[in-house]
Structure 1
Amino acid sequence: MKNVTDSFVSLGHWPSAGSFGFNTDILATNLINLSVVLGVLVFFGKGVLSDLLDNRKQRILNTIRNSEELRGGAIEQLEKARTRLRKVEMEADQFRVNGYSEIERERLNFINSTSKTLKQLENYKNETINFEQQRAINQVRQLVFQQALQGALGTLSSCLNNELHLRTIRANIGMLGAITD
């Protein structure tokens, strides 16, 4: 500390103009140099530093303000998107419910239509079977009738002789004559 005080004391006493010397005390000279530089900086740089800090402060405040505005806009857009999402989800649920009910209705319509078609096919099948049975019965009747007729004709041909034949014809003519009168 004594060196510092000595350096200030020696500042007050400048050597005469004819002599020139160096102060070899590094701590004392650095301290003096630093105090001079700081003094000059404070005196001349105070306004510049203050302006720089004010500009920096304004930029930071503007950035914060812009960030807040962007945040507010983002929150607003997020709320709009959430509202839209809820609306779309409700519509999707409605479509899903309507789709399920439509599918169920179509399924019931299909079942009813298929049931009706099956009943019609069953009726057509039964009608076809009845028709084919009638046709088969008629064919069998015709065959039986033809065979019976052929058998009767064969029996008549073998049993009838001319005299019996003439007598049958006269009896039939007599019956016809009685009917017409």
Structure 2
Amino acid sequence: MKNVIDSLISLGYWPSAGSFGFNTDILATNPINLSVVLGVLIFFGKGVLSDLLDNRKYRILKTIQNSEELREGAIEQLEKARSRLRKVEMEADQFRVNGYSEIEREKLNLINSTSKSLEQLENYKNETIHFEQQRAINQVRQRVFQQALQGALGTLNSCLDNELHLRTISANIGMFGTMKEITN
């Protein structure tokens, strides 16, 4: 019985025995904190990345849809131009004696300007699609790089032993001190 009482009394002298609190020793808790933070970032980061990609996809699809609408408008303009061309051709038959060559030039100019307009709209659509694809690819690359970097940091932190960890922290503190001296 005396041994039990002595062991209970000795527990009272140990500050960590039987109590709960925050460990403020940053060297002892840093890997735990980093793993918790990385776990939370990965868990919530997937949803954010998915939302960003969905938004990007929506914008690209909207741009494609707008380009298609512009294309349809250009096709309507082309049909109107063709209708107008038919009308001009009928008038050309009526006025062949007075100015056949002038009407022919007007017809060619109308066809050329309409074709150029259609080509420009098609080029604009293709450039817009290409630009949006490149932006989406670049954003995905950046997100993948960030996740890979976070994964590498997690792996690096899991591989550090206490001595290497202390040396790394000391080197970083020295670099921050040098940076602070440079900025002052």
**TM-score under structure 1 normalisation?**
0.40
Structure 2-normalised TM-score?
0.39
